[in-house]
Structure 1
Amino acid sequence: MGSRLDKKSTKKKRKWVKVLIISFIILFLAVGAYAFTVYNSLKGAVETMHKPLEREKSEKREEDVSLKQGTPFSVLLLGVDQRKNDRGRSDSIIVLSVNPNNNSVKMVSIPRDTRTEIVGKGVQDKINHAYAFGGVEMSIATVENFLDIPIDYYVQINMEGFKEIVDSVGGVTVQNDLDFTYEGVHFTKGQLTLNGEKALKYTRMRKEDPRGDFGRQLRQRQIIEGVIKKGASLNSLTNFGDIFSALGNNVRTNLTFNEMVTIQSKYKSASNSMEQTQINGGGTKIDGVYYYMVPAEEKQRITTMLKEQLEIK
């Protein structure tokens, strides 16, 4: 019974983790210059978050990324289910590409069960196993090989940090269009202010929504927008220490503080246009194991789109 409950809980986490990892990177794009002037209050959190990669740059880039010159860049967002005495797996994998020249951000979600070569392991396996085998480094190498694009930065999020981050901005306000009850909480129609725990439940519900996944994704976007709105509202937001403490406790990235400042300055307008893309494919079983198979033409479509966004050949 315990095992079944654990699997159910893990499945629920996957439904909302995208809200957390997207919120993190957008928060840096949207909070405004003031947040980055209080370096002393953020120093400890930034130092805790920062974890550089062993490599200097991607082998798929001919020239280094220059954030000061506005080079389009990519970020691998990993939502990790960390367990005691276990590295865990990356239950959510999103490639985010930012282009300040066309003022846009494009996000591609890679299904966790996607079958591909695990670079450094020499096997065909589920793409999320790359993290279990070799952590962030192997995950980056595998995603680069799968999509044939460079990964310039990474952001790793501990999924348990979702509630803490929402609470750190003082909760979020959403406009709910469906009256429903989920896990003991009644969500009425109209404007709602949600704390971290309620926001988590708000994004989990699917079965009672006639729109199914579409309705759930709508609520997830509402939470993202709510975090952005609070982060950008400098008149009402005074607890930057709490926000960055929450991020410091739950985030690891190779972005430095100075790079975050530059992104805020040079790339902020890109957050105004965000496009989410799913990778189309189908499920199958090989030797009794379920995999998500991506056709070659679909993979090429995604690769072409991302290369255009990153302005690389």
Structure 2
Amino acid sequence: MSQSRSEMRNPRKRPKKNKKGLKIFLIIVLALFIALGLFIWKIYSDVAGTTDKIYKDVETEEVRESSVDINKKEPFSILLLGVDTGDLGRTEQGRSDTMMVLTVNPNTDTTTIVSIPRDTRTEIVGHGTTDKINHAYAFGGTSMSVNTVQSMLDIPIDHYVEVNMQGLQDVVNAVGGVQVTSPLTFSSEGYNFTEGVTASLDGKAALAYSRMRYDDPTGDNGRQERQRQVIQATVEKVASLSTISNYQDILGSLENNMQTSLEFDDMVKLFNNYRSAAGNIQQEQLAATGTTIDGIYYGVVSDEEMNRVSDLLKEQLELN
């Protein structure tokens, strides 16, 4: 049976339609890739701009013979300072309400966080006095804090990150809040927390949760444990894809409340070379005994405890 002209033309039309559909699909895919590329470039550009604004180098005593080489994946340390400037409307220099030493070792994929009690009695390097360690910031800012911690723990501090207390509230809000499980039952600044219960906290609640210490049976040690909880929960939230839509709010909160000696290129290298260590965090506490000297309360650290923590950090930094 012979085919009609229309039947003979059909086989020729179908390939044309398929080719046209394929072209449209490829154009859509290309447009999506271009849009994604522009979005990634925008994020990259915004992050670079923010890190340029928060970067601030400070003069500190050199402890290492040569600077740590991030390209070679050498272990390094960071001093985290949470200062009370900006909290409750303060505008003066303030003191370091929180002090933590972080060591990051990519060879063991381990990050160690050591909390230093704010009342720890030690020599304030550069001030010629023995005082509470949190006064180092009031006397000489970040530089004196770094030098004092280096001297007390006998380790190098390679970088610092400083955040004011208002910044903690803003960052937590920017990431959409954090979840923490309270180790005890207490009330603070109108918020109630229950032992063993996981609660979702906005910035103001997180600040109240991390700041209370007088009603904690373990005093400043308990407060530092809760501060580490909030910091770790915030870092994990920032690192998750769920915050990508809020990245500009996060950058804005950091820009207004944070300073660091890490430059943008450093942060990129840290992400590429050290991110596996961020998944294995070990928390330690420098234990101090409360003592009153000349009518002033101090936390006194024994030689054995100081040596224990110093040796631990040296091991993490591969200095032994």
Question: For residues 29-48 of structure 1, what are the structure 2 equivalents within 5 Å?
Answer: 38-48=43-53
Q: Give structure 1 stretches of 5+ with no counterpart.
A: 1-33
The gaps in structure 2 that reach 5 residues or longer are: 1-38
Name the SS for the 1:75 alignment partner.
strand
SS of aligned partner of 2:298? strand
Following superposition, the deviation at residue 47 of structure 1 comes to 2.0
SS at match of 2:85: strand
Matched-pair identity in % = 49
For residues 110 and 210 of structure 1, do their structure 2 counterparts lie closer, same or farther at Cα, with a shift above 3 Å needed?
closer
Deviations 1:145-168 (A, max 9, x none): 111100100111111112210111
After superposition, the CA RMSD in angstroms is 3.1
Q: Distance in 1 between matches of 2:208 and 2:186?
A: 11
| Structure 1 partner of 2:94 | 88
* Matched ranges for 1:73-112 at <5 A: 73-82=76-85, 84=90, 86-112=92-118
Return the TM-score normalized by structure 1: 0.77
Higher mean alpha-carbon deviation, 77-86 vs 248-257, is at 77-86
Compared with structure 1, are the counterparts of its residues 128 and 228 closer, same or farther at alpha carbon in structure 2 (3 Å cutoff)? Answer: closer
Q: Which amino acid in the other structure matches residue 81 of structure 1?
A: D
**Which 10-residue stretch deviates more, 225-234 or 116-125?**
225-234
Provide the rounded CA distance (Å) in 2 between the counterparts of 1:92 and 1:229.
Answer: 20
Supply the distance in 2 between the matched residues of 1:234 and 1:151 (Cα, whole angstroms).
31
Deviation at 1:212, TM superposition (A): 8.9
- Summarize the Cα distance change of 1:275–1:35 in structure 2 as closer, same or farther, 3 Å threshold: farther
Q: 1:133 is paired with a residue of what secondary structure?
A: helix
Looking at structure 1, the residues matched to 217 and 120 of structure 2 have their Cα atoms a distance apart, in angstroms, of 28
Q: Which residue of 2 aligns with 1:26?
A: none
Tell me the equivalent position of 1:28.
none
Distance in 1, Cα, partners of 2:185 & 2:295: 41
| Distance (Å, rounded) in 2 between the aligned partners of 1:113 and 1:207 | 14
* Per-residue CA distance 1:214-246 (angstroms, 9 max, x = gap): 987776555445424432332563121111111
Q: How many corresponding residue pairs? A: 278
Relative to 1, partners in 2 of residues 1:239 and 1:114: Cα closer, same or farther, differing over 3 Å? same
Superposition map of 1:228-247 within 5 A: 228-234=235-241, 237-247=244-254
Q: The residue matched to 1:94 in structure 2 has which SS?
A: strand
Q: Which amino acid aligns with 2:76?
A: F
C-alpha change, 1:166 and 1:114, in structure 2 (3 Å) is same
Q: Hey, what's the Cα distance between the residues in 2 that align with 1:209 and 1:141?
A: 30
Computing the radius of gyration from Cα coordinates, the structure with the larger value is 2
SS of aligned partner of 1:86: coil
- Following superposition, the deviation at residue 252 of structure 1 comes to 0.6
Provide the rounded CA distance (Å) in 1 between the counterparts of 2:183 and 2:116. Answer: 29
> Which amino acid in 1 is paired with 2:77?
S
**Residue number in structure 2 paired with 1:49:** 54
Contact 2:290 2:297 in 1 (8 A): yes
Structure 2 CA distance, aligned partners of 1:123 and 1:210? Answer: 30
| Conserved 8 A contact 1:103-1:269 | yes
Q: TM-score, normalised by structure 2?
A: 0.75
**C-alpha spacing 1:208/1:153, structure 2 compared with 1 (3 Å):** closer
Instruction: Please give the secondary structure, in 2, of the residue aligned with 1:52.
Output: coil
**Map 1:200-211 → 2, pairs under 5 A:** 200-203=207-210
Q: Is the 8 A contact 1:67 1:262 kept in 2?
A: yes
